[in-house]
Amino acid sequence: MTDSSTKRALAPKDFASDQDVRWCPGCGDYAILKGVQKALAEIGTPPHETVFISGIGCAARFPYYVSTYGFHTIHGRAPAFATGVKLANPGLDVWVITGDGDGLSIGGNHMLHVLRRNVDLQIILFNNEIYGLTKGQYSPTSKRGTRSPSTPQGSIEGPVLPAAVALGAGARFIARTVDTQQPHLVSVLKEAHANRGASFVEVFQNCVVFNDGAHAGFTDKKVAPDAQLYLEHGKPLLFGRNRDQGLRLRPHALELEVVTVGTDGVAEDDILVHDQRNRGLAMLLAHMAPPEYPVALGVLYRDPQPSYEDGVQEQADAAGAVPVRDANVGQLLGGGRTWTVE
Partner 1 sequence: MTPANRSSSPDARGVLAREVRDSVVVRFAGDSGDGMQLTGSQFTLEAALAGSDIATLPDYPAEIRAPAGTTYGVSAFQIHFGGDISTAGDEPDVLVALNPAALKVNCREIRIGGLVVIDAGTFTKRNLDKAGFTGNPLEDDTLAPYQLLKLDISTRTLEAVEPFGLSQKEALRCRNMWTLGLMLWMFGQDRQATADWIGKKFAKVPTTAEANVAALNAGHAFGETVEMPSDVVGYTVAKSDVAPGVYRTVTGTEATAWGLIAGTRAAGLARMVLGTYPITPATPLLHVLATLKGYGVVTFQAEDEIAAICAAIGASYAGALGVTASSGPGIALKAEALGLAVATELPLVVVNSQRAGPSTGMPTKAEQADLFQAVYGRNGDSPLPVIAAATPADCYEVAIEAVRLAVTYMTPVMMLIDGYLANAAEPWLLPNADDVEPFPVSFHTDPDGFRPFMRDPTTLVRPWAVPGTPDLAHRIGGLERDAETGHISYDPENHQRMTDLRMRKVARIADDVPEQEIHLGAPTGDVLVVGWGSTYGPIYQAVRQLRADGHAVSHVHLRYVHPFPRNLGTVLHGFKHILVPEMNAGQLVAFLRSTYLVDAEGVNKVTGKPFKVADILSAVHAKLESDA
Which residues make up the interface to partner 1 (CB under 8 A)?
A: 17, 19, 46-49, 51, 53, 56, 63-64, 67-74, 77, 79-85, 87-89, 91-92, 109-110, 112-113, 312, 315-316, 319-330, 332-334, 336-342
Of the pair 193, 215, the CB lying nearest partner 1 is at: 193
Of the pair 153, 338, the CB lying nearest partner 1 is at: 338
What does each C-alpha distance from 314 to 121, 220, 317, 319 come to in angstroms?
Answer: 19, 48, 5, 9
Rg (CA), the chain: 23
CB neighbourhood size of 213 (10 A): 11
- Written as one string, the DSSP assignment of 151-208 is BTT---SPPP-HHHHHHHHT-SEEEEEETT-HHHHHHHHHHHHHSSS-EEEEEE---T
70 with 50: CB under 8 angstroms?
no
Question: Which pairing describes strands 122-127 and 93-99: parallel, antiparallel, or unpaired?
Answer: parallel
- In the complex, the smallest distance separating the C-beta of residue 329 from partner 1, rounded to whole angstroms, is 4
Of the pair 73, 127, the CB lying nearest partner 1 is at: 73
3-state secondary structure 272-316: CECCCCCHHHHHHHHCCCCCCCCEEEEEEEECCCCCHHHHHHHHH
Of the pair 97, 247, the CB lying nearest partner 1 is at: 97
- In the complex, the smallest distance separating the C-beta of residue 47 from partner 1, rounded to whole angstroms, is 5
- In the complex, the smallest distance separating the C-beta of residue 340 from partner 1, rounded to whole angstroms, is 5
Of the pair 156, 321, the CB lying nearest partner 1 is at: 321
Of the pair 67, 211, the CB lying nearest partner 1 is at: 67
Alpha-carbon 188 to chain mean position:
10
- In the complex, the smallest distance separating the C-beta of residue 89 from partner 1, rounded to whole angstroms, is 5
- In the complex, the smallest distance separating the C-beta of residue 317 from partner 1, rounded to whole angstroms, is 9
- In the complex, the smallest distance separating the C-beta of residue 166 from partner 1, rounded to whole angstroms, is 16
